[in-house]
Amino acid sequence: MAESPTILVIGPRWVGDMVMAQCLFSALKERYPNAAIDVLAPGWAAPLVKRMPEIRCQIDFPLMPGALEFRSRRRFGRLLRGRYDMAYVLPGSWKSALIPFFARIPRRVGNLREMRYGLLTDVVPLADGLKRRTARAYFGLARGGTFRMPKLTIDTANQAALLARFGLTGQDFVALMPGAEFGPAKRWPSDHYAELARDMMAKGLGVALLGSKNDADVTGEIAALAPGAIDLAGKTRLEDAIDLIAAAKLAVSNDSGLMHVAAAVGTPIVAVYGSTSPENTPPLTDRSELIWLHLSCSPCHKKVCPLGHLNCLKTLDVARVAAAADRLLKVPATA
């Protein structure tokens, strides 16, 4: 292996998974300090990847989620021939291994998953207990190095401009992230978030609601129930969300991509779990409180509650989340 290998990583398609992928990137940099690491990922990932010092560049490959597009992958792979010494394939699908194969990259590393014999040259065994533990599974592909928690860089100039733009300069505020792209079985109810927002504002803290435009309906409901909360869903770019969350005194989130962003920028995080388990995808930080009822039907890992009641989230009361927030904020408990 060359002392300065060029490495292509086939990246995941979710924000949280991309944050957790930094566990692999940092391990590869430890093993190969002079390596040039590029990440093949959708265009949305570029602002996130730019905040990872281990990465040289992001290569945009626009494909529809779930699409095979065999010819496009073959054509794109051929364009990359001769550019890379190694490839790491993070997604578990068969199609995800096609581009490195067509690029004729000499070493192609990944877990077996969808019977990828031939497409991969180095199959890394994946223990059953790690199949849903994304960060550890990604790190295991490096087969060496130190497991490090993700750490995203902050653009302080952009951060200052955003705080001024949204009236948050000089104010302690809490970032609430009530969305979850995966589905409603990950979302703590809007009225619960609104009650928490009112509690935070009663303590003298500002509240900012963050998310993508897909979360705007949810944040709009919360803002209507909690007057004074600043609804920023769909009004910020991903890189803006990173900088705003880094400025927050605390973040409260469902199991979502922004939860992992909060952990990676060092903001204390209260993470609320429903259909998924904190044992599998916890925020990678020492400054967190993980709230999960551990019902007999949870985790089901479904997008929509298969039993129709969503008790894992609806019965998770606000007082429990507020108490966790207070502990992280170091607010003394009242009698």
- Residue-wise pLDDT tens digits, 114-145: 788 899 999 999 888 888 899 999 999 999 99
Range 289-296 contact pairs with CB under 8 angstroms and sequence separation of 24 or more:
289/324, 289/325, 289/327, 289/328, 291/316, 291/320, 291/321, 291/324
The pLDDT of residue 116? 86
pLDDT at 333: 52
Q: Please state the pTM of the whole predicted model.
A: 0.93
**Which stretches of the chain score pLDDT less than 50?**
334-335
Cα–Cα distance for residue pair 17/257, rounded to 1 Å? 7
Tokens of 238: 């991903």
Residue 170 CB neighbours (<10 A): 7
Question: Residue 322: what pLDDT?
Answer: 96
Q: Answer for the pair 164, 178: CB distance below 8 angstroms, yes or no.
A: no
Q: Is 140 helix (H, G, I), strand (E, B) or coil?
A: helix
pLDDT one-digit tens code per residue, 15-31: 999 999 999 999 999 99
Strand locations in the chain, DSSP E?
6-10, 36-41, 55-60, 86-89, 107-110, 122-123, 173-177, 206-209, 230-231, 250-254, 269-272, 288-291
Q: What is the pLDDT at residue 66?
A: 66
